Amino acid sequence: MSTPVTLIPGDGIGPSITEATVRLLDAAGADITWDSQLAGAAAVTAVGDPLPEATLASIRRTKLALKGPLETALGKGFRSINVALRKTFDLFANVRPAKSVLPGLRFDGVDIVLVRENTEGLYIGVENYIKVGTDEHAAAQSIAVVTRYGAERIHRYACEYAIRHGRRKVTMVHKANILKYSQGLFLEVGRQVASEYAGRIEIEERIVDACAMELVMRPERYDVIVTTNLFGDILSDLTSGLVGGLGVTPGSNIGNEVGIFEAVHGTAPDIAGKGVANPTAVMLAACQMLDYMGQDALAQRIQTAIETVLRERKQLTRDLGGTATTEQYTDAVIARL
Ligand code: NAI
């Protein structure tokens, strides 16, 4: 039976890279009924709302969305749509795989999945200035909140993910030696969850600064990493950098009910409409989605085709040093299926 999936083409290069991805999935025989919906600047232009109710209703119905990048109009008063989606659907896990595929990079053999807690920590938005004398901004504070509930579900998610994907190890990354309460609780709960998984998967602990150093010295020692919001934000860009940058990095935001899959990069306004955007990240996000849907074999087949084209280096888009258009690159991947 065909699976309904909400498709949000997005802004800038979004429509062309999502179209390329839909074409690839069709060619691979994915049985999906796409429900195309608006968000971002395209939605503002069409209906005056960056996140229309029809789009939310579609995601509520399908519980799955493949999303192109959205333009966030800085300073125009509307909140980030990505944050709004995360909050609306309680998408607590941000999952970012980073795998060495492109030849000639500084590192080979990187295959890391970073699981970032997406709803708590220092990013809850509780911040204020403290006035001293006449200085309104004499000091500032940002509150980090870690809950047992939030920590438990992300640790559990990382362990379950690791087992389901045949991974060997989960590394809990923290700073509990200094932030004894918030990071301390994250680690305490992590250890409790780890005890439940003893014998099924190796679980280790690393302090975030040591982890950052090791990631650029011996990245191949890492497998699945689970960490809090701020550390995950920083380390996930670091791991993307190890494997060729944001252009080839997919990401997913997972909740108990809904999964939203996307590229990590933005709308690339400088190349929008030129037909030269690299669709790899959205294509890999679609593979993450198929895997999430239980269609692991199909996901693997598509991913292998993408990796083959990248390794051959004959049909690469401009950002990767080639001359292929979005269409030519997509044709090359389809030919490799
Ligand atoms: P960006 O990622 O759009 O672009 C940075 C550079 O990378 C540009 O030179 C661009 O041409 C290049 N690039 C990015 N993706 C590419 C691709 N697939 N193929 C070839 N080249 C690519 O970042 P920027 O310029 O900071 O942001 C532009 C807009 O995107 C902003 O409105 C921002 O808010 C939004 N954005 C949206 C995100 C999302 O919806 N998930 C994530 C990041 C930014």
- Per-residue model confidence as pLDDT tens digits over 251-271: 999 999 999 999 999 999 999
Full domain range(s) for residue 265? 1-102+243-337
Rounded Cα distance, 291 and 318, in Å: 29
157 C-alpha to center of ligand 1: Å? 29
Q: Are residues 194 and 220 in the same domain?
A: yes
74 C-alpha to center of ligand 1: Å? 14
Amino acid identity, position 17: I
Residue 236 in domain = no
β-pairing, 111-117 vs 93-99, is antiparallel
pLDDT at res. 244: 85
Residue 233 in domain = no
* CATH number of the structural domain spanning residue 328: 3.40.718.10
147 C-alpha to center of ligand 1: Å? 33
Q: Are residues 98 and 247 in the same domain?
A: yes
Q: Are residues 94 and 188 in the same domain?
A: no
Spans of the chain below 50 pLDDT: 75
Q: Are residues 207 and 252 in the same domain?
A: no
Q: Are residues 98 and 133 in the same domain?
A: no
Nearest-CA residue for atom 27 of ligand 1: 266
pLDDT at res. 75: 46
Residue 232 in domain = no
Residue 237 in domain = no
Q: Tokens in use for 109? A: 């053999």
> Burial code of 52-79, b = ≥16 C-beta within 10 A, e = fewer?
beebbebbeebbbbbbbbbbbeeeeeee
263 C-alpha to center of ligand 1: Å? 10
Q: Are residues 220 and 264 in the same domain?
A: no
Residues contacting ligand 1 via CB (< 6 Å): 13, 17, 69-72, 82, 246-247, 262, 265-271, 277-278, 281, 319
pLDDT at res. 113: 98
Tally the domains of the chain.
Answer: 2
pLDDT at res. 245: 82
Residue 238 in domain = no
**Mutation test of ligand 1: which of 79, 236, 267, 328 has the most ligand atoms closer than 8 Å to its C-beta?**
267
List for the chain the helix, strand, coil content (%; round to 5): 45, 20, 35
Per residue in 155-204, pLDDT (tens digit) is 999 999 999 999 999 999 999 999 999 999 999 999 999 999 999 999 99
Enumerate the active-site residues: 123, 175, 209, 233
Residue 58 in domain = yes
Rounded Cα distance, 107 and 312, in Å: 18
